[in-house]
Amino acid sequence: MSTLVIVESPTKAKTIRNYLPQGYQVEASMGHIRDLPQSAGDIPASVKGQEWAKIGVNVEADFEPLYIIPQDKKKVVKMLKEALASADELVLATDEDREGESISWHLLQVLKPKVPIKRMVFHEITEEAIQLAIANCRTVDEHVVRAQETRRILDRLVGYTLSPLLWKKIAWGLSAGRVQSVAVRLLVNKEQQRRAFRRGSYWDLKASLSKDQVPFEAKLVSLGGTRIANGGDFDEATGQVIAGREVLLLGEQEALVLQARLQTQPWTVANLEERSSTRKPSAPFTTSTLQQESNRKLRLSARDTMRTAQSLYEQGYITYMRTDSVNLSQQAIAAARECVENMYGASYLSPQPRQYSSKSKGAQEAHEAIRPAGSTFRTPQETGLSGRELKLYELIWKRTVATQMAEARQTHVTIQIQADDAGFRATGKRIDFAGFFRAYVEGSDDPDAAIEDQEVVLPTLRVGDTPNCEALEAIAHETQPPARYTEASLVKTLESEGIGRPSTYASIIGTIIDRGYAQMTNNSLVPTFTAFAVTALLEKHFPELVDPRFTARMEQTLDEISTGEAQWLPYLKKFYSGEQGLDTQVKQQESLIDPTEARTIELEGLEAKIRIGRYGAYIEASNGEEIVKASIPQDLTPADLDPAQVQLLLRQKTEGPDKVGFHPETGEPIYQMIGPYGPYVQLVIKLKKIPNPKWHLCRRE
C-alpha cells in the first residue's frame, strides 16, 4: 500500500521521512497552493469584467472567494497530482493551526482525491510524535477552515476597499488593514503623547555613606516631614507637579543650600525593615512571549524570530511555534525536571511539578507551549546548532527548564537614615536562594551576572548606628516622555487588547515598516508623517475600523466561527453590506474627504502646514506673497519637529545654506545643509575649465 503525505515545506518533509516506514511518500506543498488574486493579471478572463473581481471576493454572491493557483505554484500542483495518482491513501500533515487546516482544505479542493483521506496532526516532529499522530488521524475541521476563510475575506475587504481611497486622497501605494491600521494608530497615539509631553525638572540629593568600610548609597526622600517630589509627581501635559500632590519641589538653589547645610550634620539610622519575598518562574513561551523576549534579549525582530523558530520546528528541535497555550505535557515536565536534577541538583527542583494555565481567551492554536521537542531535552551544546538558531533554542530551553525549578527567595532591605530634618532612604536586596535564576532571568542573557546585578549589598546596620557621609551630591533630574513602542511592547499591547492573532504579529509589524508607516530607530518603532495622515483620515471617517475594542470583538467573533458558535455569512453581510456596511461607508465618505486636507497634518504649536507629497513630508509656509516649501528629513519625527526646526528648514530653503567654515588649504567655504536623510556638510569647489561652481558632497555628519 502506498500513502502520500503532504506537508508545507521541504525541510519538514525531510525530517518526517525519517520517522515513517516504507510505503510513505512525503511531499511539500510549499505553503498555500491557491489564494485570492494579488494583481489584475491574476484575475481569470471569465470574470475580468466584473467589478467584484478586483477585490477577489464576489460580494454579490454570498462572498464567494475567487481562488486562483498562482503561476509559481502550478508546477507544485502538477507534481502533487502525479504523486497522488499512484497513491492508495492521502494523509494531510499540515500544521496544527487555522492556517494549516486551511492549507489542507485547499489541497482537497484542488487535488480532488478519490482515495481515502486522513488529517494527521502533531505539535512536534519527533519519531514518537509522528508515530502517535499517524495512528490517530482525524478529518479536516470545517469550522476552523471557515473561520480562517472568513478572516481572509475580512482582511481582503478592508484592504481592497480602503487602500484605493488612501491612494486617491493621500498618496499612491499606501495600504489599510484590519489589524495593521489599529497597530499604526497605537504608534501614532504614543507619538502624540510624546509631542504633548512637557518636561518637568527637579533636584534631589544622593549621599555616599559607609559603615565598617562597606560603602552604600542613600537618596533624599523627605525634608521636614514632607515628601520630596520625584518624576512620578509631574503632569506630562504641563511639566508641573500634579495639583493636590503634597510634595516639596526642590530647585537647584534649594538643593545646593540643603547640601551645604547637611555636610556637617550627623547621620543616624532611624529605621530598618527587612521583607522576604519569593519569585516564581515565568510560564513557558507562547508565540507572543517568545517574540517579546527574543526582541529584548536577542534583538531579533518578530519576523526574524518566527523564521528562526519555524526552522527549529521543521528540523525537529522545538514544538510548534504558533501557539497561545502555556500548557506543558507530562512528557515535557518530566524532561525538564530531569534536566534540572542533572544540571543543577535536586535542591533546585520545584517540590511539585509546576503547570501553567492560559489567560488568553482564544488559547486554542495548539496543545502545548513552545518547548524543546522530545521526551528528553537536548542541551543547546548537544544540538550542533549555531548562530540565531542556537541562541533562540537556548532561550526556549532555559525558559522551559526554569519552569520546573524552585522559587527564588529574596530579602528586601529598606533603611531610613536621618540627617537633621532630612530623611534619606537606602535600599538593598539579598538573594537568599537563587532557585530558577540559575537557569533563566527574564530580560537578561547571563543568569549568573543577572543574579549579581540584582543583589544590592548593604552593611550590617542597626537603629541608632551612625554611618559616615563620604560625599553628598546635588543631582538635577528631568522627566522623560512616554517611551515609544518597541516590537516587544507593541506585541504585548496587541495581545493584551485582543487585537489580531500572535501568529500574525510578525507580518503586521513587517508590513508597517515596509509601507513606510514606521521606521526602526534604536529598537523603537517611530511613526512617520504618513502614518499621522492616514490615522487622522481613518479616525475621522472610519473610527470603528481603528478602534481596538471593535477589532478585538471581530477576533472574538472569528473564534466563535471556528467553534461553530457563530455563522460566518451573516457576519460578513453585516460588516460589508447594508446601510452601515463598509462598502456604503466608503462610498458616502469618499465625496466628503478633501485630498488637500487629508494630506495635511495638524501639529499643535506649529503655524506652518505639514503636508504629504509624492516624495514624502514637507513644510509649507507663506513668505510674503510667496509660498515656500521645504522637505522634512526622513529621520526627523513628528514628535521632534518644533518651531525652531521649521524655521531653520524654511530659512535654508529661502536664504541658502549656513556657512560653517572654510577649507584650511584652499579657503573655499563649507556649508551646513539639511537633506532628506538629515544634516550634512558641503564644500564648494570651483572646477577648472568649468565656468560655474559645482556642488560636491564632501562629508556627511
Three-state secondary structure of 564-629:
CCCCHHHHHHHHHCCCCCHHHHHHHHHCCCCHHHHCEECCCCCCCEEEEECCEEEEEEEECCEEEE
Element (H, E) at 120: none
Give catalytic status of residue 393 as yes or no.
no
Query: For cell 518636561, what's the residue?
Result: 199
Q: How many C-beta atoms lie closer than 10 Å to residue 346's C-beta?
A: 9
pLDDT reported for residue 695: 46
For 635, the grid coordinates are 529621520
State the DSSP code for 347: G
Q: Is 270 helix (H, G, I), strand (E, B) or coil?
A: strand
Burial class from Cβ neighbours inside 10 Å (0-12, 13-18, 19+) for residue 577 reads middle
| Structural contact between residues 56 and 37, judged by C-beta atoms closer than 8 angstroms | yes
- Please state the separation of Cα 610 from the chain's center in Å: 28
Nearest to 456 by CA among 620, 183, 215, 286: 215
Q: Is 391 helix (H, G, I), strand (E, B) or coil?
A: helix
Q: Classify each residue of 241-277 as buried b or exposed e, where b means 16 or more C-beta atoms within 10 Å of its C-beta.
A: beeeeebebbeeeebeebbeebeeeebebeebeeeee
pLDDT reported for residue 623: 78
In the chain, which residues have pLDDT < 70?
Answer: 359-366, 442-454, 656-663, 666-669, 671-701
| Structural contact between residues 125 and 96, judged by C-beta atoms closer than 8 angstroms | no
| Structural contact between residues 493 and 552, judged by C-beta atoms closer than 8 angstroms | no
Nearest to 618 by CA among 604, 605, 636: 636
| Structural contact between residues 91 and 16, judged by C-beta atoms closer than 8 angstroms | no
| Structural contact between residues 13 and 315, judged by C-beta atoms closer than 8 angstroms | no
CATH architecture of 201-280+409-478: Distorted Sandwich (2.70)
For 670, the grid coordinates are 563649507
Nearest to 417 by CA among 225, 274, 272: 272
pLDDT reported for residue 251: 96
Who's near 687: CB < 8 A, 6+ residues apart?
Answer: 693, 694
State the DSSP code for 72: G
d(C-alpha 179, C-alpha 338), whole Å: 42
CA 547, 549, 552: angle at the middle one, nearest 5?
A: 110
| Superfamily of the domain at 287-406 | Topoisomerase I, domain 4 (1.10.290.10)
d(C-alpha 180, C-alpha 528), whole Å: 15
Strand partners, 699: 681
For 161, the grid coordinates are 476597499
The structure's pTM equals: 0.87
* Distances 519 to 423, 477, 522, 637 between C-alpha atoms, Å: 46, 29, 10, 10
| Superfamily of the domain at 149-197+484-596 | Topoisomerase I, domain 2 (1.10.460.10)
| Structural contact between residues 606 and 646, judged by C-beta atoms closer than 8 angstroms | yes
Q: What topology is assigned to 3-34+69-140 in CATH?
A: Rossmann fold (3.40.50)
d(C-alpha 574, C-alpha 698), whole Å: 61
In the chain, where are the structural domains located?
Answer: 3-34+69-140, 149-197+484-596, 201-280+409-478, 287-406, 658-701
Q: How many C-beta atoms lie closer than 10 Å to residue 547's C-beta?
A: 15
* β 678-685/669-675 pair status: antiparallel
Catalytic residue among 320, 344, 393, 571: 320
Convert the pLDDT of each residue in 30-39 to its tens digit. Answer: 999 999 999 8
Cα end-to-end distance, the chain, whole Å: 71
d(C-alpha 18, C-alpha 314), whole Å: 12
Strand partners, 57: 65
Residue 74: φ, ψ to 5°: -65, -35
Nearest to 500 by CA among 103, 143, 155: 155
* β 24-28/3-7 pair status: parallel
Angle of helix 287-298 relative to helix 505-514, nearest 10 degrees, comes to 50
pLDDT reported for residue 694: 45
For 581, the grid coordinates are 456596511
Convert the pLDDT of each residue in 217-253 to its tens digit. Answer: 999 999 999 999 999 999 998 999 999 999 999 999 9
Convert the pLDDT of each residue in 608-640 to its tens digit. Answer: 899 999 888 999 988 777 888 888 988 888 888
